[in-house]
Copies of this chain bind each other. A is one copy, B any other.
């Protein structure tokens, strides 16, 4: 079993090592090790990054993973996870973990959830049983899970509905304060979440309130939920001036290679997304210079080339597209594993390359190259 008991709680300090325009290279210290930033975190919804072992994640250089409070609360239950040693030991991942608050999933249960000022009552998508999340409950569940970074319970509104965005923002602020009061463990960093939809004045107001709480890190929520890229970038630019320079900034649920570059250009340090593993299960791979390929396409049947000749992942080092397509057509589970490895590598490597470019003061050129390449690739 993984040893976690002897780890000394770290103070969640964020060391910024280099800056270039708004981009930053830093290190966030956690009880389960340092997270060099910019960083991309693959998602392990149900205490497993789908189809990939922790040993493979280690080989991929993954420094942080995200797991979902809503899913683990329902199944197997946060108390069971606590009984079996907490999430790190349960899933055999002894490096940093971030859990979301459950808010995003609960608010997505349109039609089977009811919001009030105190919290949300909802129906389980698994068995229809009734449950209730409040800020206090979300923190209690996240304390049972034991991630290094935990998130305040927030309400993610439809991004273009101003009235709702404002109401949800006000509630998110009140709930963030309650989360801070409810928090009991000292070995977890509580991050606050900025909401406000696509409305710059609301985003500004939200960033000002949330940063006033003096938390060890801040997230930007309610993006990558249907708004335009321009709206996303505008929201990032508004909050960039308000979020403190010495705290990590986390853009939730993002994204694609281009999104990562655009985020770092606007001061973001941490990203997470289900995209690499979800695409893999739909036979699609992301590349930095050719855009997205779907390997089920018959054109790849006899193709001896790797997915991406420039890629250094296990899959690209060892397998032809023709073989990967065969696995897909034959419905072999190994397809999801090999494609997930490639897709995770693409984003983890991109984050690492951006970090290196910032440290070497050549990030602007690097970012420009990436964005030009990705445009050409998606043509």
Contacts and interface: CB of A to CB of B under 8 A. Distances in A.
B83 A332 contact: no
A135 B327 CA distance: 28
Given A51-B333, A319-B92, A320-B84, A75 B326 contact: yes
A2 interface: yes
A307 to B, nearest CB: 13
Contacts of A85: 304, 320
B75 A2 contact: no
A55 interface: yes
Contacts of A320: 1, 84-85, 90
Contacts of A75: 326, 329-330
Contacts of A46: 326-327, 330, 332
Nearest to A49: B334
Contacts of A379: none
Interface in A324-342: 325-327, 329-330, 332-334, 336-338
A323 interface: yes
A50 interface: yes
Nearest to A52: B334
Interface string A83-118: 111000011100000000000000000000000000
A297 to B, nearest CB: 14
Contacts of A366: none
B76 A318 contact: no
A105 to B, nearest CB: 15
A75 B283 CA distance: 18
Nearest to A306: B1
Interface residues of A, number: 42
A302 B314 CA distance: 35
Given A302-B83, A304-B84, A327-B48, A76 B322 contact: yes
Which of A46, A80, A322, A323 has the most B CB atoms < 10 Å from its CB? A323
A193 interface: no
Interface in A298-357: 301-302, 304, 314, 317-320, 322-323, 325-327, 329-330, 332-334, 336-338
A80 B336 CA distance: 22
Contact of A50 (B2, B332, B338): B332
A53 interface: yes
Contacts of A302: 80, 83-84
A176 interface: no
A145 interface: no
A309 B96 CA distance: 28
A92 B301 CA distance: 17
Contact of A338 (B53, B304, B318, B333): B53
Interface in A41-94: 46-48, 50-56, 75-76, 80, 83-85, 90-92
Contact of A314 (B47, B55, B91, B336): B55
* For the complex of A and B, 4 pairs with smallest distance between CB atoms: A92-B318, A76-B326, A51-B333, A48-B334
